[in-house]
Amino acid sequence: MTQLSTLPDATIQRPDLRPALIVGASGKTGRRIADRLDARGVPVRRAGRSTEPRFDWTDRTTWASALEDVGLVYISYQPDLIADGAVADIAEFVRLADKAGAARLVLLAGRGEPEAEHAGRVVHAAQADSTVLSCAWFDQNFSEGGFAPEVDAGSLTLPVGEIGEPFIDADDIADVAVAALLDTTSDGENPHAGKTYDLTGPRLLTFAEVATELGGATGAAIAFHRVTHDEYRAILASAGLDAPTIELMSTLLTNLFDGRNSSVTTDVADVLGRPARDFTYFAAAFAERHR
């Protein structure tokens, strides 16, 4: 594989001079990707409910204006590609992106989710060059996501047992996404076109081991509590989450932790020319922020 993303920024050829649309630019990956593109001098259009133009996955009338005159598109779907109607939304978005003349599409997809795989096939059928990033659970779910408040309070409660997950750092996802958006070979080709990258960290960790590693890094114990799925749903309800969110979380934690994702890949290294960040990298950063 051509590993252009490891070269100095000045040697990376811009595939398109039009702005890059980052859907989900305030999210864990979108924010990092937008910042990296900014640093490289790529014009960025951050898309969300509070941006101008506004973008809302629940309002298709906002999509075309966001896509107008963009060359590169990063797609992060909310709330998740397993949600009802998500694949149909992706199909319509891809149609509009092709109509707008976008050159490259990069889709963030959940690893092991059949619906995400379906969405990936839809994106690969686009007229534009396409790359799908099939990602394991993020390290940053424990610092920026829904688990963060409880972890900060010293515990982690989930309906998941001794199943290993190859947690991946969002910075690695962002680096691969930027490569997929920008890398161009000397003969003008996109080396990532048509690729689906299976992105994982370098080792498997159970959620209990995550709690232990984060506690060890901070010097304050983080207790892991395993509960039943019914107990977990009750916990989410008592926290004020709405029924669709509870159903989504329950589905994710039921379906994806059956061992299907308990393997690691070298795709991060294959694209970037360096190993994926180990969880200890995240744990050290997590501890630094909590001092």
Residue 255's pLDDT is: 83
Q: What length does the chain have?
A: 291
pLDDT at 11: 42
- Tell me if 249 is assigned to some domain: no
> What letter represents residue 19's amino acid?
P
- Residue 12 — very low, low, confident or very high, per pLDDT cuts 50/70/90? low
* Mean local confidence (pLDDT), 189-203: 98
Average pLDDT over every residue of 122-127? 98
Q: Is pLDDT of 2 > 80?
A: no
Q: What is the CATH number of the domain that holds 120?
A: 3.40.50.720
Confidence (pLDDT) at 291: 77
Dihedral, CA of residue 57, residue 63, residue 65 and residue 68, to nearest 10? 130
149's tokens: 């408040």
Q: Quick check: 288 pLDDT over 80?
A: yes
pLDDT value of residue 15: 64
Q: What is the mean pLDDT of residues 173-194?
A: 96
pLDDT (tens digit, 9 = 90+) per residue, 24-64?
999 999 999 999 999 999 999 999 999 989 999 999 999 99
Confidence at residue 5, expressed as pLDDT on a 0 to 100 scale: 52
**Alpha helix (H) ranges present in the chain?**
28-39, 63-67, 86-100, 114-124, 148-153, 170-182, 207-218, 229-238, 243-255, 267-272, 279-289
The closest of 115, 119, 132, 111 to 93, measured between CA atoms, is: 119
The answer to whether residue 169 scores a pLDDT higher than 60 is yes
Convert the pLDDT of each residue in 99-115 to its tens digit.
999 999 999 999 999 99
Query: 210-245: per-residue pLDDT in tens?
Result: 999 999 999 999 999 999 999 999 999 998 999 999
pLDDT at 289: 85
> Percentage of residues in the chain with pLDDT exceeding 70?
95
Report if residue 187 sits inside a domain.
yes
Domain that residue 183 falls in = 4-138+169-200+263-276
Q: Is residue 247 part of a domain?
A: no
Average confidence (pLDDT) over 153-165: 95
Query: Is residue 52 domain-resident?
Result: yes
Q: Is residue 194 part of a domain?
A: yes
Supply the mean pLDDT for the chain: 93
Whether 17 is in a domain gets the answer yes
- At residue 185, the pLDDT reads 94
pLDDT of residue 193 exceeding 80, the answer is yes
Query: Helix 243-255 crosses helix 229-238 at what angle (to 10 degrees)?
Result: 150
227: in domain = no
DSSP 150-164: HHHHTEEEES--S--
The number of folded domains in the chain is 1
Mean pLDDT computed over 80-86: 96
pLDDT exceeds cutoff 70 at 279: yes
Q: What is the mean pLDDT of residues 142-154?
A: 93
Q: Tell me whether residue 215 is in a domain.
A: no
C-alpha distances in angstroms, 179 versus 123, 133, 143? 18, 11, 25
